[in-house]
Amino acid sequence: MEKTTTRRSPRTQALIQFGLICGIILFVNFLANIFYSHLDLTEEKRFTLTKPTRNLLRSVDERVYVEVLLDGEFPAGFKRLQNAVREMLDDFRSQSGNIDYHFEDPAAGSIEDINARRKALSEIGINPVNLRVQEQGESTQKLIYPVAIVHYKNRQMPVKLLENESASLSPDQVINNSVSLLEYKFANAIKKLEANGKPIILFTEGHSELTELQTTDLERSLAQFYETGRIVLDSVIEIPTAFSLAKQPTRQGEIMRKPCELLIVAKPRTAFSEKDKFKIDQYVMNGGKVMWLVDRLGATLDSMRLNGHFIPRDYPLNLEDILFKYGVRIQPDLVMDMQSTKIPLQTGVVGNAPQFEMFNWYFHPSVLPSANHPIVKNLDRTELRFCSSIDTIRTKTPIKKTIILRSSKYSRLQFSPVDLSFDILRYDPDPKKFDKGEQPVGVLLEGVFPSNYENRVSQELSNDLAKAGVQFKSSSEPTRMLVISDGDVAANSTRIDENGKETWLPLGFNKFERTTYANKDLMLNAVEYLSDASGVIEARSREVKLRLLDNVRAKAEKPMWQALNIGTSVVFVVLFAVIFAWWRKRKYASV
């Protein structure tokens, strides 16, 4: 008997093929949802998370919910920021299944709903930004909230998505800086919400340092995630670190002290004793971090206004040897910079009213950081007052020295002794005299530090250390410190209110220019970097290059590119039609 085979009709075969293709597509999508990956071909690896961020996300053990208040219709720039936030959170979710997010429009709903939502946001410190939109020749204003709220472990933290506008940056550059900082901001928020307890930051006291009123704004800004306080070095045996407490033998009945995460020496004006310096030195040897905000010469505007001139004195701080040992030397000079902030001076009297004009005061440099370092990346101008130049010194142990703040290339130096006077403002500055180039005024030191007291510990001191259970160390654990030659960089200005009480102004606010400089951001970034053991702040150095269109070339070559785009599409369609007709003819001619 002859075996017969049934042949499926072309329609059945087409349906089977269509079903197989659909099944393959669904299976591939299922695998893609389970195994997420992508290939980053960008030069700056903008779509690749840093290793500390990946480690942080993989350690997340509870749900992280991000509420993004950036939904709705926006101009192209804000649309780019909106898309970048969504892509960044998708990258976060690819590293941890506990990441979830939702976009919300605060301006949606009835007027009552909108007002209630704005009031609730204002109560947690979230205020809108007034966005001006140009559409069809008409300008409209819209209140938006470029903010995300991160919820984790029954706590929440707002994340500012848009960087502050600056006169030195275009709107596109502001958006670009905002996009480049998204990874750091979200990762930093999760890290802080995940932390158990607040690290301790201590300001030294007893050497005429900045008062609590002068550091009010900085300490309030730190208070959400750090515990701040004052320490009088004469009143303690040692400054505890996590390393020293771990190595210290526990005596019965002793309550373990909390370690000091960061020590800030903010504008001292009287001498440090050898005992005080020894305690700081051994704190560094045990892995402690120090921020040195030190004026070498004593000069203020108030002292000059009394007589119109002033000769600054050299502060007898007795810190030269310890800083020299750690790798820096603050020179006894004052940096003058043509890029400076302004002060008012009386130029005349009209009737009984004095007349004032604003003049650039060269001893108050307006420093624009240019280093690609997490502390100063994308940072706006910082105001310094009567700062000095800093030299770096070769050290016994390997220490990495990074200059993070420097004056502009239009700088000069005034060496002590110098008679400061407002007379220099009578004449226009001569750029030829400001020829000393960029002068370092802020240096970051990282590595293993040598002790300033190596081979200098007396037998008596050694016995006292042994009785206190403290062991002398001649070299440090790997640690960091920052040296800035201006103590006022961390000081907020003050004013007398209507009740005659002295109150504080925001850190970085220049009451003469009515402008806020980036001093607070600089201090917060420095504290974050010095105290950050996880390395999340590494994401601050991420750079997203802004590749702007060459408008002149685009206009000149517009016809060519239009013809190329249209012609290429037509060629592809015709080529596809020819190939498809040939394939059909060949297939069905043999049937």
What CATH number does residue 129 fall under? 3.40.30
In whole angstroms, what is the distance from residue 432 CA to residue 411 CA?
A: 10
Whether 286 and 212 map to the same domain: the answer is yes
The answer to whether the beta carbons of residues 479 and 449 sit under 8 Å apart is yes
In a domain, 228, yes or no: yes
Whether 181 and 203 map to the same domain: the answer is no
Per-residue DSSP letter, 424 = G
Domain stop point among 461, 482, 517? 517
pTM exceeding 0.75:
yes
In whole angstroms, what is the distance from residue 254 CA to residue 461 CA?
A: 24
Whether 102 and 242 map to the same domain: the answer is no
Per-residue pLDDT tens digits of the chain, which is 591 residues long? 455 555 666 677 777 777 888 888 887 776 666 555 555 555 555 667 888 888 888 888 889 999 998 887 777 777 888 888 998 999 888 888 889 999 988 888 888 888 888 888 888 778 887 776 555 555 666 778 888 999 998 888 888 888 776 656 677 777 888 888 888 889 988 888 887 778 899 999 999 999 999 999 999 999 888 999 999 998 888 898 876 665 554 433 333 467 899 999 999 999 999 999 999 999 999 999 999 999 999 888 887 777 777 888 889 999 999 999 999 999 999 999 999 999 888 777 777 777 888 889 999 999 988 888 889 988 889 999 999 999 999 998 999 999 999 999 999 999 888 888 888 888 888 888 898 999 999 999 999 999 999 888 777 777 777 777 778 888 999 999 999 999 999 999 988 888 888 899 999 999 899 999 999 999 999 999 998 877 787 777 766 555 555 666 777 778 888 888 888 888 888 888 888 888 777 777 655
User: CA separation (Å) from 92 to 186, 542, 543?
Assistant: 9, 16, 18
Show the domain range for 66. Answer: 42-191
Domain stop point among 499, 517, 535? 517
Both tokens assigned to 307: 């007589």
Whether 114 and 246 map to the same domain: the answer is no
In a domain, 256, yes or no: yes
Whether 356 and 408 map to the same domain: the answer is yes
Domain stop point among 476, 497, 517? 517
- 3-state DSSP assignment of residue 514: coil
Residue 558 carries which side chain, given as an amino acid letter? K
What is the strand order of the sheet 382-383 is part of?
Answer: 340-350, 353-367, 382-383
Whether 273 and 219 map to the same domain: the answer is yes
- When divided into structural domains, the chain yields a total of 2
Whether 208 and 262 map to the same domain: the answer is yes
Cis before 450 (ω within 30): no
Whether 171 and 124 map to the same domain: the answer is yes
Three-class DSSP labels, 20-72: HHHHHHHHHHHHHHHCCCCCCCCCCCCCCCCHHHHHHHHCCCCCEEEEECCCC
Among the listed residues 445, 529, 524, the one whose alpha carbon sits nearest the alpha carbon of residue 484: 445
User: CA separation (Å) from 210 to 156, 236, 314, 449?
Assistant: 32, 20, 18, 27
Whether 163 and 217 map to the same domain: the answer is no
Both tokens assigned to 464: 């006292």
In whole angstroms, what is the distance from residue 347 CA to residue 353 CA?
A: 11
- Residue 573's Cβ-side half-sphere holds a number of Cα atoms within 13 Å equal to 6
Whether 176 and 251 map to the same domain: the answer is no
Whether 62 and 207 map to the same domain: the answer is no
